[in-house]
Structure 1
């Protein structure tokens, strides 16, 4: 067990966890933040981009974990990586979907009103509607 194998296990598990929300939202046909949006990680990307980003995370995570976790240290590192990534993305995406900037910084409150943040309402505009 080396430091390299421990880091590989942690990063591999974190990437697999990150693949889940992007894949789910992409398959549902819903926009979701990716590093390719504007601003990165905060703006919304198309479902197709999310499916691609999910696939990239899943493939890279699987490649990093292809040897498996052979020692207790690697198993612990994978668990810490997975739980850590889950905590980070739950905070970040939760804040972004409520109108914040997630890990990128403070909320932009243009109206300067105190109180809870305003929710982003994701609806289709008439130009997005499919013809009947």
Structure 2
């Protein structure tokens, strides 16, 4: 059974990886997409290279957070919950904005 810190880290890791995906896809595809660095933050569009950089930072942060997390059913569920929750929240936010 995973400890609370492993569950929290798994949830955060899933959230960070879910956030990396749309930024990476848009950046690699050459499309502008909102980032925290845009004006206004999260609403204005950032250049594709900024999205690639933001995606990479999110993926690296996820790797660091997930380093050493035990792999068991509890952390798998926590990871999936973090990723799914973030994906749903982002889809609603970006869907309303664009």
User: What TM-score range do you get, normalising by the shorter chain?
Assistant: over 0.9
CA distance in 2 between counterparts of 1:8 and 1:68 reads: 7
Aligned residue number for residue 80 of structure 1: 81
Superposed displacement of residue 32, structure 1 = 0.2
What CA RMSD, in Å, does the superposition of the two structures yield over aligned residues?
A: 1.1
C-alpha deviations, 1:35-66, integer Å up to 9, x for none? Answer: 00011100101101100000000111112122
TM-score (norm: length of structure 2): 0.92
**Where does structure 1 lack aligned partners over 5 or more consecutive residues?**
98-132
CA distance in 1 between counterparts of 2:22 and 2:96 reads: 15
Aligned residue number for residue 56 of structure 1: 57
Aligned residue number for residue 20 of structure 1: 21
Superposed displacement of residue 28, structure 1 = 0.9
TM-score (norm: length of structure 1): 0.70
Q: Which has the higher helix share?
A: 2
**Where does structure 2 lack aligned partners over 5 or more consecutive residues?**
none
Within the alignment, does 1:91 sit opposite 2:92 as a pair? yes
Shift of the 92–69 alpha-carbon distance from structure 1 to 2, 3 Å rule, reads: farther
Give the number of the structure with larger relative contact order, counting CA–CA contacts within 8 Å between residues 6 or more apart.
Answer: 2
CA distance in 1 between counterparts of 2:81 and 2:12 reads: 10
SS at the partner of 1:37? coil
CA distance in 1 between counterparts of 2:6 and 2:55 reads: 23
Aligned residue number for residue 36 of structure 2: 35
How many equivalent residue pairs?
A: 97
Further displaced range: 1-10 or 59-68: 59-68
Aligned residue number for residue 72 of structure 2: 71
